[in-house]
Structure 1
């Protein structure tokens, strides 16, 4: 099974390139309802964001803000910074556990990611072209780069907690993939531990240590993430409840409200209002 497939099936990934070229000086304040992906090709880039020390990038790097986050980027006045930037939407405002795995921000030098070199070469080439369809090509390339980045983070253990680390664990990965594939199942701790080939106590302790939460907290979050996607698609609460393992719409609404802080109906209205 493709361990990342459930995330791309449940959450819509889209990117929009908004800057390419040499940046000399400071950018406008970046604070939209989306994540950000900055790819530094050359030069020195300083990133400032609230309540944190400035971040200085002086080697080619990828800087990923997985969630909406206020920040500014500044290229040095002398040499500037060659970069391409995009906004990224991948379940912002939703309980996407994949996005929650990434630190804020996530910084990786390009020399750590040789598998991205062909895609980045296309991205840089397209960013300096004037060919018809340039914007669309760059948007799709940014989406591809993000998929590759997530894949690399999984394979190379570039994050140190969360579901990405859990999926990389040979034993836990089987249990997590089972939850992803069948959120409607009335999972017991024994069933999950069996799928991981572990005792219940060892499984529960190891899961919490690696993923950062209990198996049932993770299962609840995944079920609600699936519910949010189905809500956006116009499915009824009755249908959604059955699809994610709740006895009825009332039970789903109770858990949803406790976890999200608002009812499914309120969440959907707010999501549509903000265009997320």
Structure 2
């Protein structure tokens, strides 16, 4: 059972490399309205400053991932520099993607903690520091693959200690979460979800909140609305979407969508299209 498959089916993954080389000095503000940033430090020392948080200093080869849009600047030593490759990662950052929402801001991992990524990183660095034909397309696809491997590793090795990735890796909670992912149109009861997990209702509810950080029904609502956002972008009608995610009609979906997102589905879609242009 592939517990990550539906995330990649429901939310489109797109990577775009925008920098590779030796950074001597500072960049401008790194910011995107709808994408995160994935920085891979090959060697050197890198300082990251943010307007509203403490600075970060990395002096060992590492991955630095801002899963959501966040203003930050990168600084490399003026003489020695910092050798790195950077890409934007769009994976539903402006949508209710529970996977993105559960990741820490930022996620910093030394490459030594991710030995399974080494073959891909070698290919990434080889392409990034070359001038081969098709270089941009190759690097973009490698960043997408690197992102999948990073999420897989985070789930399988518990690199992250809370949130949906931990829930998915749990032998009991994973079954209930997978049920919600596969069938958001189902009128799930707490008893049905607890049965999938092989737990009592009370124990399931408490354990789910402890591990995932929200109640089962709060998570189910987020998943339904995230699916709704994807379907809206694809041009589906509210009536069709409502039936696909478990709401009685378009009015019921609009009410929950507006309460959770702060705007109606049509307003959200208009804003989403504006950000993409």
TM-score (norm 1): 0.99
- Residue 214 of structure 2 is matched in structure 1 by 213
- Residue 11 of structure 2 is matched in structure 1 by 11
Instruction: Tell whether the 8 Å contact from 1:101 to 1:159 is kept in structure 2 after alignment.
Output: no
Give, in whole Å, the separation in 2 of the partners of 1:258 and 1:54: 35
- Residue 25 of structure 2 is matched in structure 1 by 25
Cα deviation, residue 129, structure 1 = 1.1
- Residue 114 of structure 1 is matched in structure 2 by 115
Q: Is 2:44 aligned against 1:68?
A: no
Cα deviation, residue 78, structure 1 = 2.3
How far does the alpha carbon of each residue in 1:73-93 deviate from its partner, in whole angstroms, 9 at most, with x for none? Answer: 010112110000001100121
Runs of 5+ consecutive residues of structure 2 not aligned to the other structure:
none
Cα deviation, residue 105, structure 1 = 0.3
Give, in whole Å, the separation in 2 of the partners of 1:162 and 1:258: 23
Give, in whole Å, the separation in 2 of the partners of 1:211 and 1:92: 19
Q: How many residues align?
A: 276
Query: Counterpart of 1:53 in 2: which secondary structure?
Result: strand
Cα deviation, residue 101, structure 1 = 1.2
How far does the alpha carbon of each residue in 1:19-72 deviate from its partner, in whole angstroms, 9 at most, with x for none? Answer: 101000001111112100000000000000122111000000000000000000
How far does the alpha carbon of each residue in 1:188-230 deviate from its partner, in whole angstroms, 9 at most, with x for none? Answer: 0000000000000000000000000000000000000000000
- Residue 233 of structure 1 is matched in structure 2 by 234
Query: Counterpart of 2:172 in 1: which secondary structure?
Result: helix
Query: Counterpart of 1:31 in 2: which secondary structure?
Result: coil
- Residue 257 of structure 2 is matched in structure 1 by 256
- Residue 200 of structure 1 is matched in structure 2 by 201
Query: Counterpart of 1:87 in 2: which secondary structure?
Result: strand
Which has the higher mean CA deviation after the structures are superposed, 78-87 or 193-202? Answer: 78-87
Query: Counterpart of 2:117 in 1: which secondary structure?
Result: helix
CA RMSD between the two structures:
0.8
Give, in whole Å, the separation in 1 of the partners of 2:240 and 2:195: 29
Give, in whole Å, the separation in 1 of the partners of 2:42 and 2:126: 11
Structure 1 stretches of at least 4 aligned residues deviating more than 2 Å after TM superposition: none
Instruction: Tell whether the 8 Å contact from 1:172 to 1:207 is kept in structure 2 after alignment.
Output: yes
